[in-house]
Amino acid sequence: MFNGEEMIVMDNQKSTDSLIETVRYALDNSPFYKSKLNGFYELSVSELQENWKMIPFTTKQDLSESNTDFLCVPMTEVADFVTTSGTTGDPVTIFLTRSDLDRLAVNERDSLKLAGVQKGDIVQLMTTIDRQFMAGMAYYQGVQKLEAGMIRIGPGVPELQWNSILRYKPRVLIAVPSFILTLINYAKTNKIDLSTTSVETIVCIGESVRDDAFSLNILGERITKDWPIQLYSTYASTEMATAFTECEAQQGCHLNDELLFLEVLDENGEEVANGDEGEVVITTLGVTGTPLIRYRTGDIAKRFSEPCTCGRKTPRLGPIVGRKNQMIKYKGTTVFPQAIFDIFDSIREVICYKITVSKDDLQNDLVTILLESKLQESELMTEIKNKCHSKLKVIPNFEFDDLEKIQAQVYKKNLRKPEKIIFK
């Protein structure tokens, strides 16, 4: 993103103008940014470009501690109040104006188009649209903008999901990938022929289904082995109010550079080389309620700058490697949760699991895996322990319980996403 003179390099002048407008707008209207960026107020457009890397980062802690100070409009002009999921800390509120809602609808319309969703399609939504959750609302608005049909089932309840699929015949599902395994298991138990359903595409939210080489990862392979469908990855967060989505080439998730300015930075705050991994840092474009400037997401991903084989030239992100605050240091080794997910997603006999990361008396990480009771005395446990030792270099602790109780811990009614891991 920066050349030798550290000037901002955008794909087009319109995006550059939008970036500068975002900074000016935040300086004029956000109490937080008026204080934090006070020294940048008098800079010209060219000076802002030249000094972009001098603008301090915005952090999750900033957003949590000064939440309402980010708001750029009177509270009476807020059209919708959404909150983050709280998976990496206390939930914070993102305030959306009516123009922000329109922006959200355009983003999801364009994102769904990338995944091959078309006017007239029937889409079944398997994530919540209430509880101040942005994603469900965004998908609903995007589908309406696309002039497709939406079935709002919400999360969980495999029987209800299948009743809807068999009755209304949606071509597209929007779902968390791990829940698709539950759907597949229900279909097998109830003799539903997966090869003859109407479903052709699943837009995946919240979990990756690809590896670093853009091939299906273990979770993706488990799904497609039983169900002949096309999976599309997405990456988004409430704070950025924008989604990165795979196109038909499936070589990473595309940035919509009219809605977001992307930086992927190393530990020294320098832009990483093409194909290298770094922290995703974003600046929202066109947001009027809660704009964010150089916001550190904490997500680690690889950035790809070369044109995609689909012909698009916008930057792409590979699968999220992990989150900076979810790195686990266990018995002398360091792992991200995804490495643990890959092990248990690869074992067909494991239908559901829950990971707990706690601290011992010396404040070292302890990792405990909750599995179904019937596995406790089975020969499969030897294979599981061997896989853990091979992939993680350590063997975690194991506990066991009834499958239904584990599923209740993972798919909690008061949560918007499956809780496969918890940090205590």
Residue 377 sits in a domain of what CATH number?
3.30.300.30
Angle CA 393–399–401, to nearest 5: 140
Task: Please tell me whether residues 86 and 112 are part of one structural domain.
Answer: no
Task: Please tell me whether residues 112 and 221 are part of one structural domain.
Answer: yes
Q: What is the mean pLDDT of residues 272-299?
A: 95
Tokens of 323: 């989150």
Cβ atoms of residues 316 and 304 within 8 Å: yes
For residue 310, pLDDT beyond 50: yes
Q: Is residue 168 part of a domain?
A: yes
Q: In this predicted structure, what is the pLDDT of residue 321?
A: 82
Q: In this predicted structure, what is the pLDDT of residue 141?
A: 95
For residue 16, pLDDT beyond 80: no
Q: How confident is the model at residue 4 (pLDDT cuts 50, 70, 90)?
A: very low
Q: In this predicted structure, what is the pLDDT of residue 371?
A: 96
Of 322, 351, 384, the domain-final residue: 322
Of 296, 322, 348, the domain-final residue: 322
Cβ atoms of residues 391 and 339 within 8 Å: yes
Q: Is residue 199 part of a domain?
A: yes
Q: Is residue 3 part of a domain?
A: no
Q: In this predicted structure, what is the pLDDT of residue 3?
A: 36
Smallest CA-to-CA distance from 217 within 227, 204, 208 is with 208
Task: Please tell me whether residues 77 and 33 are part of one structural domain.
Answer: yes
Strongest mean pLDDT among 87-96, 119-128, 383-392? 119-128
Tell me which residue range forms the domain holding 52. 13-96+237-322
Q: What is the mean pLDDT of residues 248-276?
A: 93
Task: Please tell me whether residues 82 and 143 are part of one structural domain.
Answer: no
Q: In this predicted structure, what is the pLDDT of residue 100?
A: 97
Q: What is the pTM of this model?
A: 0.80
Are β-strands 122-125 and 149-152 bridged in parallel, bridged antiparallel, or unpaired?
Answer: parallel
Task: Please tell me whether residues 308 and 415 are part of one structural domain.
Answer: no
Q: Is residue 7 part of a domain?
A: no
Q: In this predicted structure, what is the pLDDT of residue 278?
A: 94
Q: What is the mean pLDDT of residues 52-64?
A: 92
The Cα–Cα gap between 153 and 164 comes to: 8
For residue 129, pLDDT beyond 80: yes
Of 176, 197, 232, the domain-final residue: 232
Q: Is residue 271 part of a domain?
A: yes
Task: Please tell me whether residues 279 and 371 are part of one structural domain.
Answer: no
For residue 304, pLDDT beyond 60: yes
Q: How confident is the model at residue 89 (pLDDT cuts 50, 70, 90)?
A: low
Question: Tens digits of per-residue pLDDT, 186-212?
Answer: 999 999 999 999 999 999 998 889 988
Rounded to the nearest integer, the mean pLDDT of the chain is 89
Q: Is residue 45 part of a domain?
A: yes
- CA–CA distance from 300 to each of 264, 303, 357 (Å)? 8, 10, 20
Question: Tens digits of per-residue pLDDT, 92-128?
Answer: 999 999 999 999 999 999 999 999 999 999 999 999 8
Phi-psi region of 130 (alpha: psi -120 to 50; beta: other; left: phi over 0): beta
Task: Please tell me whether residues 293 and 241 are part of one structural domain.
Answer: yes
Report which residue type is found at 46.
S
Task: Please tell me whether residues 89 and 206 are part of one structural domain.
Answer: no
For residue 1, pLDDT beyond 60: no
Report which of residues 45 and 8 the model is more confident about.
45
Question: Tens digits of per-residue pLDDT, 65-84?
Answer: 999 999 999 999 999 999 88
Report which of residues 146 and 133 the model is more confident about.
146
Q: What is the mean pLDDT of residues 218-231?
A: 94
Q: How confident is the model at residue 87 (pLDDT cuts 50, 70, 90)?
A: low
Task: Please tell me whether residues 18 and 126 are part of one structural domain.
Answer: no
Task: Please tell me whether residues 221 and 245 are part of one structural domain.
Answer: no
Q: What is the 3-state secondary structure (H, E, C) of the chain?
A: CECCCCCECCCCHHHHHHHHHHHHHHHHHCHHHHHHCHHHCCCCHHHHHHCHHHCCCECHHHHHHCHHHHCCCCHHHCCEEEECCCCCCCCCEEEECHHHHHHHHHHHHHHHHHCCCCCCCEEEECCCCCCCCHHHHHHHHHHHHHCCEEEECCCCCHHHHHHHHHHHCCCEEEECHHHHHHHHHHHHHCCCCHHHCCCCEEEECCCCCECCCCCECHHHHHHHHHCCCEEECEEEECCCCEEEEECCCCCCEECCCCCEEEEEECCCCCECCCCCEEEEEEEECCCCCCCCCCEEEEEEEEEECCCCCCCCCCCEECCCCEEHHHCEEECCEEECHHHHHHHHHCCCCCCCCEEEEEECCCCCEEEEEEEEHHHCCCCHHHHHHHHHHHHHCCCCEEEEECHHHHHHHHCCCCCCCCCCEEEC
Cβ atoms of residues 240 and 282 within 8 Å: yes
Name the domain count of the chain: 3
Q: Is residue 6 part of a domain?
A: no
Phi-psi region of 195 (alpha: psi -120 to 50; beta: other; left: phi over 0): alpha
Task: Please tell me whether residues 159 and 223 are part of one structural domain.
Answer: yes
Neighbours of 251 (CB within 10 A): 18
- What CATH number is given to the structural domain containing 215? 3.40.50.12780
Task: Please tell me whether residues 401 and 331 are part of one structural domain.
Answer: yes
Q: Is residue 90 part of a domain?
A: yes
